[in-house]
Structure 1
Amino acid sequence: MLGRKSNGAAQVQPTAPVPAQSFRFATPVVQTPGVFVLAGWVWRLARFLLALPFRFPVAVGTVAASAALWHYTGWVGLAVGWSIADLALLVWWRRWPRSFRDVVALRVLAAWRWAWIYQRHWQPVLVVAGLAESYLERQYLPQIRGVTCSAWADRVRVRLVAGTSPAEFEGRVAELAHGFGAPSCRVEVRGPRDVVLEFPRYDTLADPIDALPIPEEPDFSALPVGVCEDGEVWTLRLHGTHVLTVGMTGAGKGSVLWSAIRAMASAIEAGIAEVWAIDPKRMELSYGRALFARYADDGESAVALLEAAVAAMQERAERYAGRQRIHTPTTRDPFTVIVLDEVAFLTAYHPDRDIRRRAENAIATLTSQGRSVGFCVLAALQDPRKEVLNLRNLFPDKIALRLDEASQVDMVLGEGARDRGANAHLIDPELPGVGFVKLEGSPVPVRVRAAFVSDADIDHMTATTAGTGE
């Protein structure tokens, strides 16, 4: 019966909610027949054996030839055959060491490193680095398509898992380098789902580089200034462009500037090139002052030099208008390089606002109009932030030496450069002149080292090359 309230109203008893009924159906477990498991193993083994002659043709051919020789001639014939082959390899190695290294030694090294370094550690390194993908409780790994070795580095060609991008590898270069015991790692994209991981085996730029020989007929589009990581000569293009070198104090900016000047020494002597130098520190460029057509070392004289360069450039452009589109260096119109050390002194740090404004205007005019008429600005800077130099985008070519922060790498070399392995912020302070550049036609940063031009080298240049010394 319902209870009654004192006021006569019927008291309603609360009704407890009825929980929703849940029904769980057991998922049937179907055992895969053993014949299918065995067929899968047989298929993988057959695929591996069929791929062996294509992946390791020399090794498979050697084993096949040895087996055939043993079958037809016995152990004695096999021993004689191997002795003759060893003697031929020894003669090849002693007589033609370069071709022996390229054809034999590096191939053997690549096979060994594929099996012992990369294939053996591939799964744990990629799983720990977060590069393994999972789908329906199955793990998918990028596949190694091949390993090739050069004299200094391993190049591992990788096929990506469908649905992933090279950016995932670019964001894990540090993990990959440490995982495979390499000094660094760089990622090169070759096509859809096709990337190459480059692992240097040792630092080829650890030792200082002496000043390079002076070219007798310098090519202003390819001046030798140092060495690339692969051992090739690093050439710097000045004619038709402008170059900005960025690096901390002691990073080796002077090596880049002096190597470029040294490469032009014979042209300066012939009168078809000239250097106008600005040296606010009065230390770096003043030692070779006699080499320069014009020289300035304080704010007012530096701005006057820049404005004089603008006037000379505009006068030359007026003469070329409607008559000539390409500049050819001559004694009348020499290739003019304005070497500007510590450019931030003029654009950001000088106490006189008018000096800063005039300097910025002159540099902007030179970098935006000077390339076609044979004027080049070769500048050096410590801090690449926009508030220090908001004209850095007017320099088509940039060099990143040792930098202070990771974010500065992309400021100098462009977005994504650090992800591709240009770790300029991790360069050892004991390696002045080491840096990263982007060579023309390739987005992959290249590690380089500028040659060191000593005081004795500068003395020799000043003794044999004469500038006006204004």
Structure 2
Amino acid sequence: MLRSSKAGGDHVQRPTAPVPAQAVRFTTPVVETPGIFILTGWLWRFLRMLVLLPIQFPVSVATVTASVAVYVVFDWVGLTVLWTVVDLGLLVWWRRWPSSFKARVALRALATWRRFWIYRRHWQPVLVVSGLAESYLERQYLPQIRGVVCSAWADRVRVKLVAGTAPAEFEHRVAELAHGFGAPSCRVEVRGPRDLVLEFPRRDMLADPIDALPVPDSPEGVDLAALPVGRCEDGQPWRLRLHGAHVLTVGVTGAGKGSVLWSALRAMVPAIHAGTAQVWAIDPKRMELSYGRALFARYADAAEEAVELLEEAVAAMQDRAQRYAGRQRVHVPSVRDPFVVVVLDEVAFLTAYHPERDIRRRAENAIATLTSQGRSVGFCVLAALQDPRKEVLNLRNLFPDKVALRLDEASQVDMVLGEGARDRGANAHLIDPGLPGVGFVKLEGSPAPVRVRAAFVTDTDIDHMASRYSGASSVSDEVAR
């Protein structure tokens, strides 16, 4: 706009600031809900609670009903006698059958208390702050708690999702949920459409070191597809599959890679002594595996010897595959065709760090052949590594089972266990340095990582194993040829 003014008899046009246009504002009309509808909603919720209460809490409802009935009929004396008898019965049950009492009484009472005092009370604020509450037409929708079950070490909260949401939203907020409910960690288990379970540990079952596990009594007690090597977070044995798989263990120095290797070897020494299993070991550091050298059918520490060992393993594998062609599809360990485990400590020395390019190329080709073709004919690669980057080892995907011990960076978790593992609670980069052997395992066909701890095999244990079971392992006929 222009404004005119006179200056010395002349008309001068001066610009003026434009008047801003008023923005159009849209408001949602507020409609007051009649009080009769609000009252009806409250009454409906109350009646539904009364109907569902005996179904959800049958023991509590039966206890209250019986107590009221006894009080009405026999007054305080009858009620006192009733509860005295009940208390004595519970005391006898607890002393005589403690496991049954814990499972049927103590843990159920704990689940009821934690459901209302821990989860129900904090459910809305934790989910709203963490961004798991949904809004539609100015109404807030929350996932519903369907039940809480307590085990000896954790709470399992079953949740019904809001329609239109995905379990991934919970998987991406496991840290917020764990801190919100005061748990050391949180794991998400999908059970079906709109149905998942949140697992909150109450205490760390892996905080204390695990002594070396007992050696099986006989070769028949050795299951090469489920070797006990430690303990899972739920207190169950951690069993490592070697027969029919390849295993890659990744962790920084001092993370406990040796515990995984030696626990696996300790679990299979009766089979080694019987000749149905062999270990071919490569130890570039000359420190980790040299203690048990007497247990190994083959051993190498120099780079050239290590590569030759790998290439001989490939030749033995291909010879066995040639003999099996058209005759046998499944390998059964025997003295003639033993199960061969190629143990590679610090595999990056051969694949990335050795100065000779030809050594690196030959080692990588041999490892690739073993890991891609060896499972069906009884050859397994058990490797340990510090740095999981592809330029160090680009064969990670050929190892179906992986163990992530303590790592340096958060991004390395997904490198080892696959994309999304850290979102599912596998925070291997946050493992306490004072907990060697603690890590996360992702098994073939399972998207959920499992927190585990390997048993600690001391030098004394290794010396005892080597002295007792040495001398039985020999190179098989197919290698001799």
Fold match, TM over 0.5? yes
TM-score (norm 1): 0.93
Q: Percent identity?
A: 80
- Matching residue of 1:72: 73
- Contact in 1 for aligned 2:286/2:301 (Cα 8 Å): yes
CA distance in 2, matches of 1:42, 1:230: 43
TM-score (norm 2): 0.91
- Matching residue of 1:125: 126
- Contact in 2 for aligned 1:437/1:445 (Cα 8 Å): yes
CA distance in 1, matches of 2:20, 2:238: 77
CA distance in 1, matches of 2:254, 2:30: 68
CA distance in 2, matches of 1:97, 1:387: 55
Q: 1:256 is aligned with what amino acid?
A: V
Offset from partner CA, 1:103-131 (integer Å, 9 cap, x none): 11000000000111111111111111111
Offset from partner CA, 1:367-398 (integer Å, 9 cap, x none): 11111111100001111111111111111111
* Cα 1:391/1:69, change in 2 over 3 Å: same
**1:450 and 2:451 aligned:** no
- Contact in 2 for aligned 1:291/1:469 (Cα 8 Å): no
- Contact in 1 for aligned 2:442/2:450 (Cα 8 Å): yes
Q: Determine which of 240, 254, 260 is the counterpart of 1:236.
A: 240
- Matching residue of 1:10: none
- Contact in 2 for aligned 1:367/1:394 (Cα 8 Å): yes
Offset from partner CA, 1:297-340 (integer Å, 9 cap, x none): 12101001101111111111111111111111111111100000
* Cα 1:320/1:20, change in 2 over 3 Å: closer
> Where do residues 96-245 of structure 1 align in structure 2 (5 Å cutoff)?
96-215=97-216, 216=218, 217=220, 218-245=222-249
Q: 2:245 is aligned with what amino acid?
A: T
- Contact in 2 for aligned 1:275/1:336 (Cα 8 Å): yes
How far residue 17 of structure 1 moved from its aligned partner, in angstroms, is 10
How far residue 169 of structure 1 moved from its aligned partner, in angstroms, is 0.9
Classify the secondary structure of the residue corresponding to 1:226.
Answer: strand
Alignment gaps of 5+ in structure 2: 1-14, 476-481
- Contact in 1 for aligned 2:145/2:157 (Cα 8 Å): yes
CA distance in 1, matches of 2:262, 2:29: 77
> Where do residues 374-389 of structure 1 align in structure 2 (5 Å cutoff)?
374-389=378-393
How far residue 214 of structure 1 moved from its aligned partner, in angstroms, is 1.0
CA distance in 1, matches of 2:387, 2:31: 65
How far residue 22 of structure 1 moved from its aligned partner, in angstroms, is 9.3
How far residue 26 of structure 1 moved from its aligned partner, in angstroms, is 8.7
**1:290 and 2:294 aligned:** yes
CA distance in 1, matches of 2:290, 2:398: 27
- Contact in 1 for aligned 2:227/2:264 (Cα 8 Å): yes
**1:422 and 2:426 aligned:** yes
- Contact in 2 for aligned 1:274/1:336 (Cα 8 Å): yes
- Matching residue of 1:307: 311
Offset from partner CA, 1:429-470 (integer Å, 9 cap, x none): 100000111245532211110000001101110111114589
How far residue 27 of structure 1 moved from its aligned partner, in angstroms, is 7.0
Classify the secondary structure of the residue corresponding to 2:231.
Answer: strand
Offset from partner CA, 1:277-308 (integer Å, 9 cap, x none): 00111110011111111101121010011011
Classify the secondary structure of the residue corresponding to 1:144.
Answer: strand
**1:60 and 2:61 aligned:** yes
Q: Determine which of 253, 259, 264 is the counterpart of 2:263.
A: 259
Alignment gaps of 5+ in structure 1: 1-13
CA distance in 2, matches of 1:147, 1:318: 55
- Matching residue of 1:90: 91
* Cα 1:38/1:341, change in 2 over 3 Å: same
Compare 350-359 and 309-318 and name the one that shifted more.
309-318
- Matching residue of 2:435: 431
Classify the secondary structure of the residue corresponding to 1:380.
Answer: strand
- Contact in 2 for aligned 1:290/1:469 (Cα 8 Å): no
